[in-house]
Amino acid sequence: MAGARPTQSLYDFGRECFDDGNSAQECVDFVLRAELDELKKDGETHEKIKKHFRYFVDFQDNTNARSALVEASENDIEEAGIRDSDKIAHLDRQYLHLIWIHKNLGSQHKAVRYIRRLFVEKITRPSVLGFQLASRIKSLKSRIENAKIQRDEKKLASHRMKRVTFGRKRMRLAGHHPEHVLLENKAIEQAKDLPRIDIIQANPRTSRDSTLTWHSVTPFENGAWGNVFLELGVDSNNVIRNRVVRKIAKVSAEMRRSPTAWRGDLNVEVNGDGFGGGDVSGDVNGKIWPMEWLTQTLACNAPGAESILPILGTPRIASDEKSFTVYTAYAAVGDLFDVESQHREARGPLPMPFLLMCFKQLVDTALILKQGSLSADTAKAEWQQIIHRDYKPENVFLDLPQPHSWPMYPQLKLGDFGLAFMTSEDDELNPGYWANGKGTKDCVSPEQIPYEDPHTLTAVDDFQMLSPCNVWGIGLTMFVIMHSGPDTAIKQPGVTS
């Protein structure tokens, strides 16, 4: 009939919106809740999905943070009068962030695909969450391609500027070695080779036989990489009987399961004390340990290692893998940075005997890290060199004097092995994989900084990082406490920023 109203389908009826709200959206919410409730009935699958969802959120947060840094850097480049060297530095930082954005998006894509596979195995019918996951996978795939294009554009822009900049030697960005993927895979396999741990010093804080009550004092150090607390053990009369230091080290998304920060089978599951369960038997097969804990534990338990700050017990690794906790002995006198600061204020020279003691005990640390013993005659054949990479006054602690050695002065204790790693002269990953520029600005040894020819991308001055890096750190530390101030970075001629 002319002018008759078209017949409304049931589909149109179902998606019709009303003045008091969107009924279609309310229907979606209702169905989604029902699907999630149904999923919870299979507890194992539900837990796996939640775990990978947390991974997705972590990578998403990291992507958003790096995207904000790229945007801020881009705004800085657009400022009038910016120097070419600064513009190059901005482009390099943007390129580095975009490398990780591309990787993080890939990890998000992988996590969502895994979640969708688990979900559709349990709920095979068409579903709201299944449709949403499929749409997100498609969106992430597009974002991955866009990130790759942006990354390559930044690299090209940087290279164009460097081609007209004096010098053919520049720092190589971390993770940007031409064979990085190959080296990373080799590092993962190498990490499975765990050294034998013969001794683990007991931690009184976690000992079941302890009669002390422990109290955590306000953090006396907060940093970008973690927090440090003083723990006091008091007896029934409220008298302090013991002290230990608890360090909670943060683990960034990029460092989780990375062979630069962990040693062991990097695919094992988290299980309380360490991955796979910690013990003090020396049998650590099938476990994974933080590189910081492992290197410092090996060093402090080597024969004659009085100048290494002791590690106590095994580490505790958070189930979300965002942090781990280690305990160390308490150094009662502070650190060399405190001494340097007081010296600067007093403007008086440090006593020569104290300087000689510092030098002698720092040399002892280098011998321990190189050969696992103070004497070459008792050096361990299977010992791998430990490269500290962060020698500086702040990481050299002072404990109570030893009656048999320099009884007038506190005993030095090298600590904070957060950047340490193990290597050898025949290590095919050294320096290509380990030389990544990590360390405190103005304190790193030349070998720690990777250089390349900006035209050919081939390595320049790629010397192995071995015991001489620790020797450099000793010299730097002595220079600072003798001259009352940090050294300035030595600018090599012909090296671009």
- Say if pTM beats, i.e. exceeds, 0.75: no
Residue 27: pLDDT over 80: no
Assess whether the previous peptide bond of 431 is cis (omega < 30° from 0).
yes
Burial annotation 267-280 (CB, 10 A radius, 16+ → b, else e): eeeeeeebbbebee
Helix H or strand E segment including 295: helix 291-300
Q: 3-class SS at 27?
A: helix
| 198 against 461, higher pLDDT | 198
Confidence of residue 357 (pLDDT cuts 50, 70, 90): very high
Q: Strand, coil or helix: what is 114? A: helix
Tell me the percentage of the chain whose pLDDT exceeds 70.
85
DSSP E strand stretches across 205-337: 213-216, 221-223, 226-234, 240-250, 262-264, 288-290, 311-317, 323-329, 334-335
Q: Which domains can be identified in the chain, with CATH numbers? A: 24-165 (no CATH), 186-483 (1.10.510.10)
Residue 379, pLDDT above cutoff 70: yes
- Measure the CA–CA gap between 367 and 389, rounded to whole angstroms: 15
Check the CA dihedral 343-347-353-356 and report its sign: positive
Question: How confident is the model over 112-133, as pLDDT tens digits?
Answer: 999 999 888 888 888 888 888 8
329 pLDDT above the threshold of 90: yes
User: Side chain identity at 12, as an amino acid letter?
Assistant: D
Task: Indicate if the pLDDT at residue 6 is higher than 70.
Answer: no
If one counts every other C-beta atom within 10 angstroms of the C-beta of residue 171, the result is 16
Q: Do the beta carbons of residue 277 and residue 271 sit within 8 Å? A: yes
What are 178-196's pLDDT values in tens digits? 888 899 999 999 999 989 8
